Chains A and B, each alone.
Chain A
Amino acid sequence: MVPEDLKYTDTHEWIKIEGDYGIVGVTQYGFEKLGDIVYVELPEVGAKVKQGEAFGVIESVKAAVDLISPVSGIVEEVNESAKKSPESLPNDPYGESWLIKVKIENPTEIEKLLSDKAYEELIEE
């Protein structure tokens, strides 16, 4: 079961909408597929992100993949502890392991994201 109050991408990122802001992370399923995480590269505060485009990189022992932004906007906050101890990211994917907080530029973009049910169907396939 994935949390009901989040929106999802088909590249296994989640976003929690809080007013004008969105908090972004990687889903539990995403972490499971990656395996042991060794490194995460995140943007600077103030950087622009775009829906569907890479905002960072996450590296596991077997792969390095782009982190795709669910929305467009400006990076307001970055989870520094995620950068410092990437290995513990999979422990709390929807809580402590958030990656960036974005000021959302265009709220209509949210409609393009997957609901919890749609995401669940996707990962069951």
Chain B
Amino acid sequence: MDYIPHSKEDIRYILDVLGLESMDELFLDIPNSLKLNRELDIPEGITEIELVRILKEIASTNITSDRFLWFLGGGCYRHFVPQALNEISHRQEFYTSYTPYQAELSQGTLQALFEFQTLLCDLLRMDVTNDSMYDGATASAEAMFMACDITKRSRVLVARSLHPEYRMVLKTYAEPRGIEIIEIPYDKVSGMLDIGSIEEFIQSSACIIFQNPNFFGIIENPELFEPLVHKTGALLIPVIVEPFSLALIKPPGEYGADIACGDLQSFGLGMRFGGPSAGFLATKIDYIRRLPGRIVGMTNDMEGKRAYAFVLQTREQHIRRASATSNICSNEALCAIKVAIYLSLIGEEGLKDIALTCYQLANTVRKATGSYFSGLTFNELLIPLNTSSKDVRDVLRERGILVLDISKWYPEFKDTILATFTEMNKEDEVNRFIEEIRPYVRKFSV
């Protein structure tokens, strides 16, 4: 993006119009502790060639996934992004239109979003999805609102094994609405949801929100608690953070999920320092009017030709005015389109192949290192250590290997690390990983 400088006069003029003394007043809402509170460490009045040199030097200290053996996951996954995806998604018809305001003029965009919805419904085996959400965390929060609205209840159960940052977003959304969140623990042995706790609290709760596979990479068995949840009139809400899992494990629609939500970063969006991503929100046909955002439908135009239109957007501000209950109509159209292109490029077989590779790599390592939990592993593995997580993480980093220390979110895991495996990890990398971690593993099998 181009940098458009303002002269001192420009700045003074804008501040006068706004009735402000200084630029700092524009940022009063930001807590001081988050501000830099000093000038950037770049000399003034240098030439462009000098500036580029300095910036490149600073940028070279970034850790990039190409220069390390990368076993980081925990909600942001390193999958391959084919060049064809960029070629197609960078077409100006997709790339330059922020969101289709004159929707019906943008038939190509609408068709791509329609395909997105169709692909997602196929993967999830759910009746309907909207045309995307901002990310998995906000999609979970919207799912929580839907559940409270549908059940007219204001207490929700949230798994401790749900991504900690997702839980923070849920908390942020819940508080102003007076929604009470009860944390459901994981079983200490299997790492799966503690069913006894669900049983204890599900009565008069709106829903249970859980991640599958969960934050520890353990595959849940929702069929074990689905009857228990539905018996009380509560809703079953799985959150899928690594959507490649859908190729191998039972999809939400087949175990009675009422709402399914999650993140699509894995599907061609890349890591990009953590965003932008896209989220999804799918539900049963009965709840279609409770979906926030927009739904694209296929219809016929006046001449009887196939055409696409926004067919339902029942909660949005431009439809419901003052009584709107949602305002996400700009959504993540471009990222959603990229997801549709990505899934079309890899196809059903590609999806399965990649998912299987992830699964096999993680489970090969599991055989060697053991797993903290007895539950089944998809592509992330919590490895028990004989020493502190931080120490092992730091030692491995010095040797060019990156793993995730989750003890900052889970103090109970101060001697474990989370390692994630994708199709980007070559077999010799994985072997090297096993060799390097071997001395620190608590119970080394094989």
Contacts and interface: CB of A to CB of B under 8 A. Distances in A.
Interface stretch (A1-9, A59-67, A81-89): A59-67
Nearest to A68: B323
B90 interface: no
Contacts of A62: 319
B316 to A, nearest CB: 9
Among A62, A64, A65, A66, max chain B CB count under 10 A is at: A64
A63 B323 contact: no
Contact of B319 (A41, A63, A66): A63
Interface string A48-66: 0000001001010011111
B328 to A, nearest CB: 16
Interface in B29-73: none
Query: Which 3 residue pairs of A and B lie closest in terms of their CB atoms, listed nearest first?
Result: A66-B323, A64-B314, A64-B320
Interface of A: 39, 41, 54, 57, 59, 62-66
Nearest to A62: B319
B321 interface: yes
Contacts of B289: 39, 41, 57
A30 to B, nearest CB: 15
Contacts of A57: 289, 314
A63 B314 contact: no
A39 B289 CA distance: 10
Interface string B110-140: 0000000000000000000000000000000
19 contacts: A39-B289, A41-B289, A54-B323, A57-B289, A57-B314, A59-B314, A62-B319, A63-B319, A63-B320, A63-B321, A64-B314, A64-B315, A64-B319, A64-B320, A65-B320, A65-B321, A65-B323, A66-B320, A66-B323
A121 B357 CA distance: 72
Interface string B271-314: 00000000000000000010000000000000000000000001
Contacts of B314: 57, 59, 64
B314 to A, nearest CB: 5
- Say what secondary structure dominates the interface of chain A: strand
Interface string B317-340: 001110100000000000000000
A92 B320 CA distance: 25
A63 B323 CA distance: 11
B58 to A, nearest CB: 51
Contacts of B323: 54, 65-66
A45 B278 CA distance: 40
A65 B320 CA distance: 6
Interface string B148-175: 0000000000000000000000000000
Contacts of A59: 314
A107 B326 CA distance: 35
Contacts of B319: 62-64
Interface string B231-249: 0000000000000000000
Among A54, A62, A65, max chain B CB count under 10 A is at: A65
Contacts of B321: 63, 65
A54 to B, nearest CB: 7
A66 to B, nearest CB: 5
Nearest to A41: B289
Given A62-B319, A64-B315, A64-B319, 9 more contacts: A41-B289, A54-B323, A57-B314, A59-B314, A63-B321, A65-B320, A65-B321, A66-B320, A66-B323
A102 B358 CA distance: 59
Contacts of A63: 319-321
Interface in B161-204: none
A63 B315 CA distance: 10
A65 B321 CA distance: 8
B284 to A, nearest CB: 16
Nearest to A54: B323
A13 B6 CA distance: 55
A66 B321 CA distance: 10
A21 to B, nearest CB: 24
A11 B20 CA distance: 41
A27 B289 CA distance: 24
A45 to B, nearest CB: 15
A65 B323 CA distance: 7
Contacts of A41: 289
A59 B314 CA distance: 8
A31 B398 CA distance: 71
Nearest to B316: A64
A62 B289 CA distance: 15
A63 B319 CA distance: 5
Contacts of B315: 64
B295 to A, nearest CB: 13
Nearest to B323: A66
B224 to A, nearest CB: 31
